[in-house]
Every structure is written in C-alpha cells, then in structure tokens.
A = this chain, B = another copy of it.
Amino acid sequence: MTVSASTPSSSTDLTTESTRVLYDQLVVLLKDISHIKGISHLLGWDQMVMMPKKAQDARANHMSVLDATIHGMETSPVLGALLEECERRRLGGDLSAELNPYELANIRIALKSYRQETLVPKELVRELASATAKANFAWKEAREASDFSKFAPFLEEQVKLTRQSVAYKINGGVCEEARKINQKARAALGLSDEDECYKGYYQVLVDIYEPGFKDDHLQVLFGDLKKDLIPLIAKIKAKNFQHENGFLKGDFDIKRQAEFSDKFPTRMGFDMDAGRLDEATHPFCTSAHPTDVRLATRYALDNFQEGITSTIHETGHALYDQGLNMEYVDTPVSLPLSVGIHESQSLLWERLIMLSKPFWTYTLPLLKEQFADRENLQAVSLDQFYLAFNRVEPTLIRLEADEVTYSMHIILRYEIEKALIEGDIQVADVPALWNAKMKEYLGLDVTEDRLGCLQDIHWSVGIMGYFPTYTLGSIYAVQIYDHARELIPDLDEHLAKGEFQVLKEWLNKNVHEKGSLHASGDDLIFELTGKPLDSSLYVKYLTKKYTSIYDL
C-alpha cells in the first residue's frame, strides 16, 4: 500500500475535510486496489500460458492469499467511510463544482463496488463458494452422463443462494432499478414486504456484468431480435445451400498459420511494447494495466478460420484494454464500462471487419502467399472466399454458432435463467423448455441434455445474468461501427489497404478513452451516436449481408 501523507487513518474526522481532500485520499486507496488486482490478472495469465502443471496446488494457495488481500482492501472501513461521506455530500447537494465528471464517476463506481463487496454476509459468500464447487463437479458428471436430473438439485441450491445474495444487494441499495421492479410487482400482486417475490432479482444480476443496463430494455431488444431473426434464419435454412469451401478445408501448417495471424495484432494497432501475444488452450485477453496487456490465441491444424478468428477477436479486447484513459489510469472510471461493451470491441473486429470484403481484399493475397503450395487456395477469387467464409448453419452448440444464429442461443438462455431466478419456472422445467425454444428459434431438435441445457459451464459456477452481454456486444458493435463508417467515409478503402489503425484510433477516442465515464452502455451509445441503442441496426446488417450471400 502506498504510504503517503494523504492516506487517511480510521481516526480522521472526515466531515471537516474538503471534498477535494476526501477524493484525493480515496484515489490513493483505489489505485492500490487497482495495483493488487493487476497482480491477480498477471497470475491468471501465467496460469493459462506459462505455469508448469505440478504448480496447480501451490498456485491455488497463492491466489487464495491474494484474493483475501484484495478483499481486505476492497472492504476496508477506511475506504467505506470515505465513500459514504462523499455519498452523503452528493445526496445533500451537487458536487460538480468541486469534482469533474470523471472524478464523480469514480466515487459512484467505487461506492457501488464497495457495497457489492460488503453487503452479502461472509457466511453466505462461503456457502455460495462451497455450493459452486459442488455444483460444478455435479455438472461435469451430469454432462458426461447427459442427464440433467443429476445436476438439478445443485442448480436448485445455486438459485436459492443466488436469490439470498440478491436480496441483500437490493436491500442495501446497490440497484435502484431492481428495487423499483420488485416494489411494483408486489403492489400489482398485492404482496406485502414479507411475502416472497423475486421480480427484479434478475436485474441485479445483469447489473453485475452490465452496470446500469435495464433489464426492461434487454427484453425489448431481445424481443425485436427474435421477431426478425427467427424468420431470417428459417429462410437461410430453407435454402439448404452451401457455397464451395473446399479451399478452407484440410490441414494448414500451424507454424505458418501463426506467422500469418500473428501480424494482425500489430496491424490493428496493438502495441507489442505494452503487451504480449502467446498461445494457450483457450484464447483470452487479460490486462494488468494499459501498458501490460496479455493476449493468448490458438491455432487448429484442420481449421484455419479458428486461428485468425481467435487472434482478431482477442486483439479487439486488447485494443480496448490498451486504449483506456491514461489520465485516470488505475481508478475505476478508466476501466472498461461493461462486459457487453468489451465484447462489442472484440466482435466489431471479428465480425464487422474480419468477415467483410474489404478485409479480405487486403488479406487474401497475403494468405495465398503464406500458403503458396495450396493450389485450390491460389485459384479462389475474393467473392468465392467471402461467400465461403460467411457460411450460416444452425447448430445445437453455442460455441460453434455463426453471427446470425448466435443471438438465438443467448436469448434462449436469457429467458430461461431469468424465469428461473424470478420464480416463473422450476429447475425441473429447464430441459423441456430449452428443447422447445431450440426448436422454435433454430428449428433444431435437442436429442441429449449434453447437447442442450448441460452444454455451458456458467450456471454450475453460479454465473447468471452474464449471457445477455454476448448479444448486447453484437448490438453495440453494429451501432458503433455504423457510426464510425459515417464519420470515416473512406473506411472501406483503408481496410482494403490493410490500414486498420484509422479505425483503432477512432475507437480509442470514442469508446476506449471514455472508460466507465458513462453510467451504462445505453448512455455511452447515446452520447456517441446521438441515438438510443437500437437492435434494428443489427438486424439490418445481418439481413442485408445474408440476403445477398444466400440470395434470399
């Protein structure tokens, strides 16, 4: 911890200090938290990329001490007292004469996070951790056996404990929107405060990953998507058409793939002096600091598309992490706004750029050069390549889904997990409901739980409310990219020449540097584009693109 004259001690009388003094003291503590979390991210990277396999137990011990240290700093009474005093002043009047919008955002975010960390009693946190370990184990066994009933009692317990922790958060005031929804539902149903009512509980979970985003808005966005995408998917499926793609098949030497792919981060503007690119079993990006962003990708011998897709997707995340606001670095306002906005940055590059014609105008000749001995690749035209690279095929497995069908996987999960948490369905209802929705949205029959409601790890580790961020990311990405194209009129020409950095710099300025200044992804989009977040742009993008590709 930084030992400095401005570090407060618990005995200081905060009420007599100026707000500026309180803020400066707060920043000292927040920076220390940022530093120690940076260490945690580095260890996470090391574990995935470098750690020898026998070090697993030792690393668990290392992380446990570090987590406890972080928790101690995040819940320190000195931090709490500073934040509550700032909040008292904010409620009593406007602080904007004393603090700028970035500083005010820091207080807002830090207070929320302090409350999140302190509201749930330690015993419940421990109970949740223990239930999670058991549920994750049971999920693996159930998936192996493809039998949801083996997982059901553990999911039941997860739902029960999650609701308990949500209740503490609602009562502690971390999510005003959830409280409103709950009150309204109680009034409508004539329930008292003592009656059980879980309405609004899902809002609290969404708010963890997508701060400030209203579940009501999610419902509207997802409803609109369903309305338009289900028929689009059905139309594509009915065509039953497959563009020639033999040139994408067969083995692509891993070393040559890596040589080819590894140049893209730099081309996109990733600074190799402020980060690294390595290989890992699962691609990821983690950041210890904007000057230390670690990328990991992977290559598959028989699937060339996977390597380049992973590299570009993760680089999209990495550009956000490197592009954060350095003036407020190591304080909450500089951090990425939400999981959905983070995903928008990876999806923008992965889908709107890497699946586009301008990208392959530049890249296809490079690919042909790198694999000069593949004759069928040499012969392929840009149009042929583009058509083959953009195939749509409904699948039962979310991780294999393309950009058209992916959202249906997400909406299905969103509807089920929300209904579960809010008590509209029972755990036992999950498999049948899953299978019915899969049929309705993608026209597919689920033959096994393994390929249906047991495919994702999320619920087993107590993660609910996260799924929506994937599709929110797509919606954000299209609206941000549409706006970028309006303001950079010759963008396609740049991309076709491999000049990707013009887009990177635009994103730096308009998205990355904003960090968490705005209260939600909705607000960021409105500030940036002058319009509310709108899923119809996403639908329009998909419809236009695939109408042409599939000649609908």
Min C-beta distance of A469 to chain B, whole Å? 27
Query: Which residues in chain A, 269-285, are within 8 Å of chain B measured between CB atoms?
Result: 271-276
Min C-beta distance of A204 to chain B, whole Å? 26
Cα distance, A165 to B1, chains bound together (Å): 23
Residues from chain B with a CB closer than 8 A to the CB of A306 are none
A52 in contact with B292 given A46-B46, A62-B35, A66-B36 (CB within 8 Å):
yes
Q: Mark A1-35, 1 if CB is under 8 A from B, else 0.
A: 11100000000000000000000000000011001
Q: Is A95 in the interface zone, CB < 8 Å from B?
A: no
Min C-beta distance of A6 to chain B, whole Å? 15
Do the beta carbons of A54 and B274 come within 8 Å of each other?
yes
Residues from chain B with a CB closer than 8 A to the CB of A56 are 291
The stretch among A37-45, A134-142, A237-245 that forms the contact with chain B is A37-45
Do the beta carbons of B288 and A53 come within 8 Å of each other?
no
Do the beta carbons of A58 and B291 come within 8 Å of each other?
yes
Min C-beta distance of A323 to chain B, whole Å? 14
Do the beta carbons of B50 and A50 come within 8 Å of each other?
yes
Residues from chain B with a CB closer than 8 A to the CB of A291 are 52, 54-58
Do the beta carbons of A1 and B69 come within 8 Å of each other?
yes
- How many residues of A are in contact with the other chain, CB < 8 A? 41
Min C-beta distance of A228 to chain B, whole Å? 44
Cα distance, A275 to B58, chains bound together (Å): 12
Query: Which residues in chain A, 440-487, are within 8 Å of chain B measured between CB atoms?
Result: none
The residue from B32, B42, B51, B292 contacting A65, defined by CB atoms under 8 A apart: B32
A61 in contact with B273 given A55-B288, A68-B1 (CB within 8 Å):
no
Residues from chain B with a CB closer than 8 A to the CB of A46 are 42, 46
Query: Which residues in chain A, 313-371, are within 8 Å of chain B measured between CB atoms?
Result: 330
A65 in contact with B2 given A53-B273, A54-B273, A276-B50 (CB within 8 Å):
yes
From A32, which residue of chain B is reached at the shortest CB distance?
Answer: B65
Do the beta carbons of A43 and B54 come within 8 Å of each other?
no
Choose among A1, A52, A66 the residue with the greatest number of B CB atoms under 10 Å from its CB: A52
Q: Is A64 in the interface zone, CB < 8 Å from B?
A: yes
Min C-beta distance of A273 to chain B, whole Å? 5
Min C-beta distance of A302 to chain B, whole Å? 28
Residues from chain B with a CB closer than 8 A to the CB of A69 are 1, 36, 69
Q: Mark A49-87, 1 if CB is under 8 A from B, else 0.
A: 011111111110110111011001000000000000000
The residue from B57, B271, B289 contacting A58, defined by CB atoms under 8 A apart: B289
Residues from chain B with a CB closer than 8 A to the CB of A275 are 52
Min C-beta distance of A367 to chain B, whole Å? 27
Do the beta carbons of B330 and A51 come within 8 Å of each other?
no
Do the beta carbons of A276 and B39 come within 8 Å of each other?
no
Cα distance, A3 to B43, chains bound together (Å): 21
From A61, which residue of chain B is reached at the shortest CB distance?
Answer: B35
Do the beta carbons of B276 and A3 come within 8 Å of each other?
no
Do the beta carbons of B289 and A55 come within 8 Å of each other?
yes
Min C-beta distance of A278 to chain B, whole Å? 9
From A64, which residue of chain B is reached at the shortest CB distance?
Answer: B2
Do the beta carbons of A292 and B59 come within 8 Å of each other?
yes
Do the beta carbons of B62 and A39 come within 8 Å of each other?
yes
Do the beta carbons of A43 and B52 come within 8 Å of each other?
no
Could you jot down 29 A-B contacts, CB within 8 Å? Answer: A1-B65, A1-B68, A1-B69, A2-B65, A2-B68, A32-B65, A35-B58, A35-B61, A36-B65, A38-B62, A39-B62, A39-B65, A42-B42, A42-B43, A42-B46, A50-B50, A50-B276, A52-B291, A52-B292, A54-B291, A55-B274, A55-B292, A57-B291, A58-B291, A58-B292, A59-B292, A61-B330, A62-B288, A62-B289
> Which 3 pairs between the two chains have the least Cβ-Cβ distance?
A55-B292, A58-B289, A35-B65
- Known pairs A1-B69, A54-B273; list 5 more (Cβ under 8 Å): A1-B65, A36-B62, A52-B273, A52-B276, A52-B292
